[in-house]
Chain A
Amino acid sequence: MRKIVSCSLRAMAWLASAAVAAAAHAHHSTAEFDYTTQLTIQGTVKEVQWTNPHSYIQLIVEEEGKPPVEWSVEIGSPAINTALGWKKTSVKRGDKVTMLLSPARNGKPYGTLRKLTFEDGRELIGVAGSMRSPPPALAPATPAQGK
């Protein structure tokens, strides 16, 4: 049974990735993010902005001896997120999560989500994580500052 589930999940993920790749093209350029870089951050969810055309998770990241930093992480539109298995209430204020993301090129605490992991190990895939290949390079890969 488990095998069947995982198989159909894979099929769904493939379909979703195809959908998302098209959507990523349709909406806006993705030049702001450096898809060649992956970064992991951990923190507490301050807010989920479940809005079109883009949704965001605001994450407060605390490191010892440093002031807290608020990250903005893009998570796609509600329709795309729903196709990827999210619900509006999947991530809530106060949740402690780990996020794998591709950061913005401008070095600001901003990025696009590849994968979100809850404390109990559950995972949610982000738009960038669902794409089989990064979007065509519209921009030269300027190294992200401060990463």
Chain B
Amino acid sequence: MRRLALCLLPLLALQLAACGARPDDAAKVTRSPDDLLGIWVPDAAPRELTANGAPPPLTEDAAAIYAEHKQRYAAGDSGYDPTTWCAGPGLPRIFTMAYPFEIRRSGDYLAFIYGWYRWFRVVHLDGPEITEIPTPTTLGYSVGRFEGDTLVIRTVGLIDTTVMDAHGLPHSDQLVITEQLRVLPDGRLENRMTFEDPETFTRPWETVLTFHRDPSARVTDDVCPDRLAAGEPAERVPPEGTTVAASPAPASAPAAPASSASEGAAPTTPRLAGLWEPKFFGILVPEAKFSPLGQQIVDRNAKEMASGRIMHTAWTSCRPGAISTMTMPRERILVMESPEEITILYEMPRMVRRIRMNAEHPQNLEPSYVGDSVGRWEGDTLVVDTIGFNGYGELGAHGQPTSPQLHTVERFTRAADGTLDIEVIITDPEYYSEPVRIKRGWKPSESRLPQEYDCMENPREEDFENAYYMRDRYRPVCARVAGKGMELSRMVCGKWE
């Protein structure tokens, strides 16, 4: 009987459409994209991917590389895995990490916002297949479509410097990943991934990863280099045999974003959603009026630079604060919009900013690089107020400092010609005697997807004698050491002075 009912379902959908139901309504019956939205926590953090229990079908050469990586892993050396020094884990490695992630959707874009080091991945829904790859990246270029209740994503253009699992499963840049994501009857999310890479595997193979809901889970602003500096590993791994715990929200953390259900249920006309790029390139930080203390710091920086030293700021040490998204961006931004939250994904500096709409700042804010942003509409202008910064962030390459007193107000206005004006007022009485004002123009991007910016701390060993760190926090833990003769360089993490 059940089988009969299932067979009749498509017919029923067709019938509904034929009876005058709008095509959109019919689509909602058979396609349930909203079920996938929201925060998911991995059921496990497998160190090794299997082809449904069997070893992946590796070619002889690839098998030798994997065996060598496994030996190194057993000896405590994960130097083959870029995550070790906070570089991009890539696909599918990022799904094997014990960090929650959120799936958000806005128009033709679906984004995975990962809990590990500010990574996000944008999928172009219902777009044409990607045939041109400008440059391979760790998360590649993804196009998705719904087939019934299953989201099918095809990803190409994956850079060959990542590994597929923590034990170092290799792949080439010919790797093509097809994911099938659906919510199982028990409420968990299943990602059925198929890997095709003739340079690495003798045949296509499949693995299945699952994820669950946890109301306490949050996707927070994780800054990997700070964890390394604190002596923690780049990747937090739960003890073997235990399930992955959701990372608890700090006491002062704002409420979780709206659930997937309400996100889908409260449609409003998005006003800013889409992919934007700057109208023009230029120097974006105007002359600032410094306080005596601020002047002292920029003078000190200028003196250091004048002596030929390389100055390192939060930006160059891959820890930019939200202030950098206001003063320095020259790349694309993706705005995702729902009534409760506007999420902005910044290409460079790579960052996810969340603007809670019609909300208040919490009383006891935990200072952070991104601060706490709340927004409201004033007519057609989105006004974003941000406080709660941690004082690590500079306005520009001259090292114009910020303090925890930093307060920013951004006004996003859609102009009549369809472009976007963003005006920022930066106030920080600790270092500036007057507010700093910046105005910028944006236009809809002609690109389909944002570009990836895999910022990694990669100072070179020989740079150290010439480096000047604005703050001690910006000192790197890992550095690139040149190989002797024709030997390749390698990243070494440890104490660098």
Contact = CB atoms under 8 A, between A and B. Distances in A.
Interface of A: 18-19, 21-23, 25-29, 31-32, 46-47, 49-54, 56, 58, 60, 70, 72, 77-79, 81-82, 87-88, 104-106, 108, 110, 138-140, 142
Contacts of B328: 26
B489 A19 contact: no
Chain B residues touching A, majority SS: loop
Given A28-B315, A46-B486, A108 B135 contact: no
Nearest to B347: A79
Contacts of A25: 283, 396-397
Contacts of B313: 28
16 contacts: A25-B283, A26-B315, A26-B396, A28-B310, A28-B313, A28-B316, A31-B306, A31-B311, A32-B310, A49-B458, A53-B315, A72-B460, A72-B482, A77-B453, A79-B348, A81-B135
B479 interface: no
A139 B330 contact: no
B458 A51 contact: yes
Contact of A32 (B308, B451, B486): B308
6 tightest Cβ-Cβ pairs between the two chains A and B:
A22-B281, A105-B308, A31-B305, A26-B328, A139-B306, A138-B305
B387 interface: no
A27 B348 CA distance: 10
Contact of B466 (A18, A32, A51, A54): A32
A22 B277 CA distance: 14
Contacts of A110: 462
Contacts of A142: 308
B139 to A, nearest CB: 14
Most buried by B among A26, A27, A31: A26
Contact of A31 (B310, B318, B480): B310
B188 interface: no
Contacts of A21: 281
Name the residue in B280, B284, B454 with the highest tally of chain A Cβ atoms < 10 Å from its Cβ: B454
B398 interface: yes
Contacts of B475: none
A19 B279 CA distance: 11
Given A49-B458, A53-B318, A28 B312 contact: yes
A19 B305 contact: no
A106 B330 CA distance: 31
